[in-house]
């Protein structure tokens, strides 16, 4: 495939930093920074814990998240797995409703739940340990390697996962601490990935490349969401109401991204930076027209652009994107260590996620500035319908 137009254009222009002023964007009327902030987060707000699905997937994403992977200690048994899930169920049911966990050593920190959600999943190994191998979903395995991957084992895999989200980072930190220390005799923490995002309710957030990110997605409460995200129990009856999580840690090479101009950046993704509208439209919500060409016959949205390559080629290739930005301390000699915690939820990883990931790994103009450094796949347990039941109960019955 041809070199991305973004890069060609940079050469034509002789490089040059992409400064906002160059494209006429500044602190004018269109800038959201001049508007009064009217959407204060409510620190007392809670998200229900009980229900057919776990919270934290259809829930509008709070501003902060921590993804925590844990490994079972050597010699762990089925009873240990069940024990961890029972403790987490009790802790999460209390903390998410603004109450302290049993034996909480900092109960005051539980008073501001800030829409806290705790979402629990299992990695492939647990099914063998717990003696339920036949109940393991067929798609539950690490993703195959891709040529774009530069995976660091420190950010990959895991036996159990917690996704903890809340509008206040203190609520996230307290919940993670309680959930991890309560099961420390049975598991060890493998990795923790913290992220953040913010957007006014109903609006899409921006990633750290400055793009509006999250436009094309599956709306909760729709038939599409039910069909594409929630498992219906057809293949594994115990999993009805559950789903899967693919978490990719994708580093952004922001220093080289700085070298391309604004047009180049927009051609790379296929959308404008200002509004997030497709290059063929004027509003973020406009459908991209991948067939549109300019007066020279050149596609307006480059076929190599991220949205052209990521766009589903069949209805079954869609999934929910619910990612968070990360911005960690740079290693010596670098100025940034930022990227995306790309979190995708879908009923079937192999059928829905993999075809899109394979296509992007083959070619995506954005790959020049994005590097997958972590990868993990988990089955997300169904919700706890009845108080007193525990997460994963249907797997062990």
**Alpha-carbon distance 25 to 56, whole Å?**
35
**Alpha-carbon distance 198 to 223, whole Å?**
27
- Is there binding between residue 325 and ligand HEM (CB under 6 A)? no
Do residues 56 and 119 lie in contact, with contact meaning Cβ atoms separated by under 8 Å? yes
Out of 96, 117, 193, 211, the only residue in the binding site for ligand HEM (CB under 6 A) is: 211
- Is there binding between residue 127 and ligand HEM (CB under 6 A)? no
- Is there binding between residue 104 and ligand HEM (CB under 6 A)? no
Total length of the chain: 397
- Is there binding between residue 161 and ligand HEM (CB under 6 A)? no
DSSP-assigned states of every residue in 80-95 = HHHHHHHHHHHHHHHH
Give the orientation angle of helix 5-13 with respect to helix 262-269, to 10 degrees. 170
- Is there binding between residue 370 and ligand HEM (CB under 6 A)? yes
- Is there binding between residue 215 and ligand HEM (CB under 6 A)? yes
- Is there binding between residue 273 and ligand HEM (CB under 6 A)? no
Active-site residue, selected from the candidate residues 63, 91, 213, 364: 213
DSSP-assigned states of every residue in 103-118 = T-S-GGGGS--SS-EE
Judged by beta carbon, residue 61 or residue 182, the one nearer ligand HEM is 61
Give the orientation angle of helix 78-95 with respect to helix 169-181, to 10 degrees. 150
Do residues 72 and 85 lie in contact, with contact meaning Cβ atoms separated by under 8 Å? no
DSSP reduced 3-state for 395: helix
Q: How far is the CB of 208 from ligand HEM (least distance, A)?
A: 8
Judged by beta carbon, residue 242 or residue 281, the one nearer ligand HEM is 281
Identify which range of 107-115, 155-163, 203-211, 387-395 contacts ligand HEM by CB under 6 A.
203-211
**Residue 213 among the catalytic residues:** yes
- Is there binding between residue 117 and ligand HEM (CB under 6 A)? no
Note the residues at the interface with ligand HEM (CB under 6 A).
Answer: 207, 209, 211-216, 248, 250, 252, 269, 271, 288, 306-307, 310-311, 339-340, 342, 356-357, 360, 366, 370
């Amino acid at each position: 495939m041809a070199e991305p137009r973004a890069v060609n254009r940079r050469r034509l222009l002789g490089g040059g930093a992409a400064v906002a002023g160059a494209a006429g964007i500044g602190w004018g009327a269109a800038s959201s920074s001049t508007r009064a902030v009217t959407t204060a987060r409510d620190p007392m707000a809670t998200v229900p814990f009980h229900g057919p699905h776990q919270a934290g997937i259809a829930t509008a994403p709070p501003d902060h998240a921590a993804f925590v992977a844990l490994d079972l200690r050597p010699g762990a048994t089925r009873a240990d797995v069940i024990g961890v899930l029972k403790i987490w169920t009790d802790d999460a049911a209390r903390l998410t409703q603004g109450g302290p966990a049993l034996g909480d050593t900092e109960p005051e920190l539980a008073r501001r739940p800030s829409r806290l959600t705790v979402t629990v999943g299992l990695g492939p190994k647990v099914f063998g340990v717990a003696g339920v191998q036949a109940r393991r979903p067929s798609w539950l395995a690490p993703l195959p390697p891709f040529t774009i991957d530069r995976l660091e084992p420190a950010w990959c895999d895991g036996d159990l996962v917690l996704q903890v989200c809340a509008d206040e980072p203190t609520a996230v930190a307290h919940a993670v601490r309680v959930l991890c220390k309560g099961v420390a005799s049975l598991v060890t923490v493998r990795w923790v990935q913290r992220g953040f995002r913010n957007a006014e309710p109903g609006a899409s957030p921006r990633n750290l490349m400055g793009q509006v990110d999250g436009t094309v997605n599956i709306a909760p409460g729709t038939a599409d969401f039910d069909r594409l995200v929630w498992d219906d129990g057809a293949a594994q009856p115990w999993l009805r109401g559950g789903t899967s999580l693919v978490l990719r840690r994708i580093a952004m090479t922001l220093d080289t991204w700085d070298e391309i101009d604004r047009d180049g950046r927009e051609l790379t993704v296929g959308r404008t930076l200002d509004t997030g509208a497709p290059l063929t439209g004027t509003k973020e919500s406009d459908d991209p027209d991948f067939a549109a060409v300019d007066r020279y016959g050149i596609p307006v949205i480059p076929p190599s652009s991220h949205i052209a390559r990521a766009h589903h080629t069949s209805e079954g290739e869609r999934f929910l994107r619910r990612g968070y930005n990360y911005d960690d301390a740079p290693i010596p000699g670098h100025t940034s260590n930022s990227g995306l915690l790309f979190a995708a939820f879908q009923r079937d990883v192999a059928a829905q996620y993999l075809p899109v990931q394979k296509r992007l790994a083959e070619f995506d103009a954005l790959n020049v500035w994005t590097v997958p450094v972590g990868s993990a796949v988990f089955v997300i347990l169904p919700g706890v319908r009845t108080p007193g039941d525990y997460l994963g109960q249907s797997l062990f019955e």
